[in-house]
């Protein structure tokens, strides 16, 4: 493709992108294709000759688009959002055009220094400790793995990277509701999933600090070495808030690394009135949150802070000859801050987003989402056919269809059916979790452009689907 052809197609694509964003709510929010359907339209072998861009783009519209789930659809209430915004997309266009690989300062000083400065901005925007050191990671899973590896190295005086693990006696603690990325990190770090001890939760699905203390004390008595506790500020299932302050006290008492996973909920710390959810955060050793979830920045952008920068660098720094530069002593080389060497220039989109919204603009949107969530929760609690299943702390409402005459497995089946009916409409997209063995539907209100209209659509669809369910049972 020549540069002139690129210019022509890029103009066309920008128009397509703007139209898409205008009309996204007209698409079925969840892709309605069957497994294998997209692949059945793709040739078995790659093309040997070049193909015109028009043909490629036609196939994008014909084959790919029907298989797209529209995460930027304002009725996307599934999982947690991976929301975006125009300034974020514009920055990504520049990022792709520059094609920067930001592994070290030298490979793009602007990428390194913008990232450094943005981390300072985040500390101010979210009232985080000024001495923390931050970087952008791919995702919260990477950050949690990073934290476990750093804690492991620090515990063993930075010898395990060299010698390998000689004993499997380190233990990590989190709640039963904590994210599966911690299990994965335990496996990858060589600590073993069996050594991730899941602490029971209370009726609000938050970790029980007393049980944590008893468990740690028992483990110490039996010769285990407690290494780390992961506190969740906003669990994936229900956005439960673990009692961070009490956990921080235990971490101090037993000399544990305290990692705080606030993947979604971290964005709420932009609001002074929501900072109670992270009371105790100042004692953390590491903290992660994902602007790529709820802060209008398209995937991927995960912000990770550590208290002890030297421990992090001692864990990850490698100095091969081919990466040495004469500025190494004066600059930040982010390749030393995590697992991959290569890094995308992700700071640019965060910069565009923060400047384009302004802190006040970001706050206003988050407040609006919280208000809509409360309103939806209020509607739900007034409905005899629905039961709220967990406290609504942030932007996630957990509920189920109720039928008090049927046993739990049958009610669960009805709820599965309800979820399928709702998602088959293409008008809304919800996902589920299980709480105390109840199949529970989750509504997350965090898409960038979600507003009152979309809550009305949600209520309408829920009312209709539950009525159909009731009729089908008669």
Cβ proximity to ligand PLP, 229 vs 263, nearer residue? 263
Residue among 282, 365, 311, 324 at smallest CA distance from 156:
311
The least CB distance from residue 45 to ligand PLP, in Å, is: 33
User: How far is it, in rounded angstroms, from Cα 367 to Cα 361?
Assistant: 10
Q: Which two tokens stand for residue 471?
A: 């009729």
Cβ proximity to ligand PLP, 141 vs 215, nearer residue? 141
Cβ proximity to ligand PLP, 40 vs 180, nearer residue? 180
Q: Which residues lie closer than 8 Å to 7 by C-beta, 6 or more apart?
A: none
Cβ proximity to ligand PLP, 366 vs 465, nearer residue? 366
Q: Which residues lie closer than 8 Å to 87 by C-beta, 6 or more apart?
A: 349, 352, 353, 355, 356, 357
Cβ proximity to ligand PLP, 146 vs 150, nearer residue? 146
The least CB distance from residue 54 to ligand PLP, in Å, is: 35
Cβ proximity to ligand PLP, 95 vs 235, nearer residue? 235
Residues that bind ligand PLP (CB under 6 A): 80, 139-141, 179, 181, 232, 235-236, 261, 263-264, 290, 302
Can the peptide bond before residue 66 be classed as cis, meaning omega within 30 degrees of 0?
Answer: no
302-306/438-444 β-pairing: unpaired
**Residue tagged 């599934």 (tokens):** 78
The least CB distance from residue 435 to ligand PLP, in Å, is: 15
The least CB distance from residue 292 to ligand PLP, in Å, is: 7
Cβ proximity to ligand PLP, 75 vs 290, nearer residue? 290
Name the closest residue to ligand PLP (Cβ).
Answer: 139
The least CB distance from residue 175 to ligand PLP, in Å, is: 11
The least CB distance from residue 282 to ligand PLP, in Å, is: 20
**Residue tagged 């009135």 (tokens):** 273
Cβ proximity to ligand PLP, 25 vs 290, nearer residue? 290
Per DSSP, helices labelled H in 176-290 are: 181-188, 209-221, 244-253
Across the beta sheet with 396-401, the strand order is 386-388, 396-401, 438-444, 431-435
The least CB distance from residue 440 to ligand PLP, in Å, is: 16
Residue 235 is given by DSSP the state -
**Residue tagged 């100042």 (tokens):** 282
| Backbone phi, psi, residue 44, to 5° | -70, -30
Cβ proximity to ligand PLP, 139 vs 243, nearer residue? 139
Cβ proximity to ligand PLP, 105 vs 289, nearer residue? 289
> 132 near 287, Cβ under 8 Å?
yes
> 128 near 285, Cβ under 8 Å?
no
Assign residue 283 a region (left: φ > 0; alpha: ψ between -120 and 50; beta: otherwise).
Answer: alpha
The least CB distance from residue 199 to ligand PLP, in Å, is: 16
Q: Which two tokens stand for residue 34?
A: 């069957």
Burial bucket for residue 170 (CB in 10 Å: 0-12, 13-18, 19+) = buried
Q: What is the 3-state secondary structure (H, E, C) of 330-386?
A: CCCCHHHHCCCCCCCCCHHHHHHHHHHHHHHHHHHHHHHHHHHHHHHHHHHHCCCCE
The least CB distance from residue 56 to ligand PLP, in Å, is: 29
The least CB distance from residue 52 to ligand PLP, in Å, is: 36
């Amino acid at each position: 493709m020549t540069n002139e052809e690129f210019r022509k197609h890029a103009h066309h694509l920008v128009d397509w992108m703007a139209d898409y964003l205008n009309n996204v709510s007209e698409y079925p929010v969840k892709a309605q294709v069957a497994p294998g359907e997209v692949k059945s339209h793709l040739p078995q072998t790659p093309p040997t000759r070049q193909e015109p861009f028009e043909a490629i783009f036609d196939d994008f519209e014909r084959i790919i688009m029907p298989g797209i789930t529209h995460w930027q659809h304002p009725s996307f209430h599934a999982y947690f959002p991976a929301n975006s915004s125009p300034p974020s997309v514009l920055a990504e266009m520049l990022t792709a055009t520059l094609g920067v690989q930001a592994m070290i300062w030298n490979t793009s000083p602007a990428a390194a220094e913008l990232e450094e400065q943005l981390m300072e901005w985040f500390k101010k925007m979210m009232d985080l400790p000024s001495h923390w050191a931050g970087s952008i990671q791919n995702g919260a899973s990477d950050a949690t793995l990073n934290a476990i590896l750093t804690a492991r190295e620090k515990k063993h005086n930075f010898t395990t990277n060299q010698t390998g693990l000689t004993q499997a006696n380190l233990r990590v603690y989190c709640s039963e509701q904590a994210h599966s990325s911690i299990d994965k990190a335990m496996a990858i770090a060589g600590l073993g999933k069996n050594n991730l001890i899941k602490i029971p939760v209370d009726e609000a699905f938050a970790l029980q600090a007393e049980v944590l203390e008893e468990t740690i004390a028992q483990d110490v008595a039996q010769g285990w070495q407690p290494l780390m506790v992961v506190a969740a500020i906003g669990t994936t299932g229900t956005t439960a808030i673990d009692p961070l302050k009490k956990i921080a006290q235990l971490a101090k008492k037993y000399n544990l690394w305290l990692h705080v996973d606030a993947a979604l909920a971290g964005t709420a710390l932009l609001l002074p009135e929501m900072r109670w959810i992270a009371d105790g955060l100042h004692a953390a050793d590491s903290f992660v949150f994902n602007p790529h979830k709820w802060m209008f920045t398209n995937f991927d952008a995960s912000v990770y802070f550590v208290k002890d920068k030297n421990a992090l660098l001692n864990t990850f720094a490698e100095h091969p000859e081919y990466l040495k530069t004469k500025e190494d002593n004066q600059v930040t080389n982010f390749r030393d801050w995590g697992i991959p060497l290569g890094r995308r220039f992700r700071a640019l989109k965060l910069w565009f987003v923060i400047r384009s919204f302004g802190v006040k603009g970001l706050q206003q949107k988050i407040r609006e989402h919280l208000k809509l969530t409360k309103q939806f929760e209020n509607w739900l609690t007034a409905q005899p056919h629905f039961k709220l299943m967990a406290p609504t702390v942030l932007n996630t409402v957990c509920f189920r269809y109720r039928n008090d005459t049927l046993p739990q497995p049958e009610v669960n089946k009805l709820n599965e059916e309800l979820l399928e009916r709702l998602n088959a409409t293409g008008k809304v997209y919800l996902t589920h979790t299980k709480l105390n063995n109840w199949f529970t539907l989750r509504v997350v209100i965090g898409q960038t452009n979600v507003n009152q209209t979309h809550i009305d659509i949600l209520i309408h669809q829920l009312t209709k689907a539950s009525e159909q369910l009731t009729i089908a049972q008669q």
